[in-house]
Structure 1
Amino acid sequence: MGQVTRRSARHLRAGTATQRLEALAVEEPLEIRVNGAPLSVTMRTPGSDVELAQGFLLTEGIISRREDVLTARYCSGAGDGPPQDYNVLEVTLAGHVPRPEVDLTRNFYTSSSCGVCGKSSLEAVRLASRYGPADDPVRVAAATLTAMPDQLRAAQTVFARTGGLHAAALFSVGGEVVGGAADAASMLVVREDVGRHNAVDKVIGWALEHGRVPLAGTVLMVSGRASFELTQKAVMAGVPVLAAVSAPSSLAVDLAAESGLTLVAFLRGDSMNVYSRPDRVVG
């Protein structure tokens, strides 16, 4: 399934109308099944679906490592239908993993705009987290952070064609140390999706596949706002620094402060706001 499609639109400009094809980001539902039972439906941009499912399961506290998943594959078709249903992904958990308790009001439907809804308790998230970022000693130069939005934008290939996708990127902080802070960062992975939470899940799923969870010494950069659900996902994966181009929510700041996560927002040009654990940002 492609990530970009085209639709006809009537374009109006300076009193002139033309009919033309416009590139649009594809939005399709993905049902995630665990051990044969439906767990969640999310509206996503097709691609990296296994990463999306595994990132979702980790940030929901259902799994904690790659070995917790035996198989993850698209649903097989039956009869005269297509051999694969690319909107249904079946995940089989290892025998030692407890069967997830399905709360349909919380998990069964996730729109591309709201993220994982229904979590109102910070305590519930904190108890579920296996990889708290509070003890991560990483420090990063402010100039390293201010370079990340441009790096992320340059890597958004589908956004460049459609203008309609969120993105998340994972940076490994390294390079020479100046004043005790890393002055360079390398982009490990970037993922795009119509849902900002899906983009983050895909990035975390990639890290799980590559044995990088917990994500110590990294910065998670997102193209939009820092919501509660994105902050929760960062905490669950052990990310020490979450950086956002736009604003944070009050609950995101509260969760970051309680969890020892450095939350950077309004990261634009040479300025930023650091809402929690400012000791990690130097210069």
Structure 2
Amino acid sequence: MGRITARKPVLTLSVEGGERRRPDTLAVEEPLEIRVGGSPLAVTMRTPGSDVELAAGFLVSEGVVRAAGEFAGAIHCGGPGTGGEDNTYNVLDVTLAAGVRPPDPDLARSFYTTSSCGVCGKASIEAVETVSAFDPSLDPMTIALDALAALPARLREGQAVFDKTGGLHAAALFDAATGELLVLREDVGRHNAVDKVVGWAVLNDRLPLTGVVLQVSGRASFELVQKAAMAGIPMLAAVSAPSSLAVDLADARGVSLIGFSRGATLNVYTRADRVVAHLPAAVGA
């Protein structure tokens, strides 16, 4: 999609004197209205691209979709309020599979938000525990410390649009056993980037996301831990700090929460048993 980046004029000034006018490449930010069965559900500001994944991941975080077969499909449609407008690709209508309960009308948030906000209006650990279909605490995954510490650099290497704009968050899923990068997505909103990788899992029938690490480029908020728990992800690693409520939720849901993962050091806030200095050799190896 060509609207991921845009060129805008910029005036560069120096305190040492001089100025320069040039075009600058910026990350595009546009609204996406998510509808379910034609009914508006939410509006989020996002970087265009992987919109179907974003919507699917968002519905997982809201407890609406719990398996690939429950998400029947999605289609971009014209602008809100008209039946014949040109398609702006900023409205996406999701179709759920037959028998899947549609979102509760109380969840509808057809208003401006700065990013997909996950648990806005129901931000409590008890609410997350009530609606989650998966239990990350039961996941026996482990990962070697050196492999875990290397993930932020591998995430950064894959941020193609960030290289051009310097203005996008990123999220990626790595297989804890093999180190394989499964999927990486960028977005102007950190929550949207996570929704996109979870949505990838929905579309590829990978829920629950057992045995993986979710690596993110920014801080670890309560909402990101919530999204990880709702998708069954056992480990969330961030290059920056977690919030206190993020740690509380990770502890309650059995998610390993890693913060300040930079270079050779990192902080393990919950479920440290999953991080080992050296993994034992495989039987028969």
Identity over aligned pairs, percent: 58
Report how many residues are paired: 273
Partner of 2:27: 25
Please list, as runs of the form range in 1=range in 2, the aligned pairs for 1:187-266 lying within 5 A after superposition: 187-266=181-260
3-state SS in 1 of match to 2:220 = coil
Tell me the CA shift for residue 100 of structure 1.
Answer: 1.0
Partner of 1:100: 103
Partner of 1:62: 64
Tell me the CA shift for residue 105 of structure 1.
Answer: 7.7
Tell me the CA shift for residue 2 of structure 1.
Answer: 1.5
How many Å separate the matches in 1 of 2:59 and 2:249? 20
Tell me the CA shift for residue 108 of structure 1.
Answer: 4.1
How many Å separate the matches in 2 of 1:107 and 1:171? 33
RMSD, aligned α-carbons? 1.7
Greater strand content: 1
In structure 1, give the amino acid aligned to 2:103: P
Structure 1 spans left out of the alignment, 5+ residues: 176-184
Tell me the CA shift for residue 119 of structure 1.
Answer: 3.0
How many Å separate the matches in 2 of 1:245 and 1:215? 21
How many Å separate the matches in 2 of 1:37 and 1:107? 9
How many Å separate the matches in 1 of 2:254 and 2:107? 31
Tell me the CA shift for residue 113 of structure 1.
Answer: 8.5
3-state SS in 2 of match to 1:2 = helix
Q: Deviations over 1:125-152 (max 9, x none)?
A: 0111101100100011110111001100
Q: 1:107 to 1:63 in 2, by over 3 A?
A: farther
How many Å separate the matches in 1 of 2:147 and 2:221? 23
Match of 1:86 among 81, 84, 89: 89
TM-score (norm 2): 0.91
Contact 2:33–2:110, Cα closer than 8 Å, also in 1: no
Match of 1:119 among 119, 122, 129: 122
Contact 2:169–2:188, Cα closer than 8 Å, also in 1: yes
How many Å separate the matches in 1 of 2:110 and 2:52? 18
Partner of 1:15: 17
In structure 1, give the amino acid aligned to 2:6: T
TM-score (norm 1): 0.92
How many Å separate the matches in 1 of 2:84 and 2:61? 37
Match of 2:273 among 256, 275, 279: 279
3-state SS in 1 of match to 2:102 = coil
Contact 1:2–1:26, Cα closer than 8 Å, also in 2: yes
3-state SS in 1 of match to 2:202 = helix
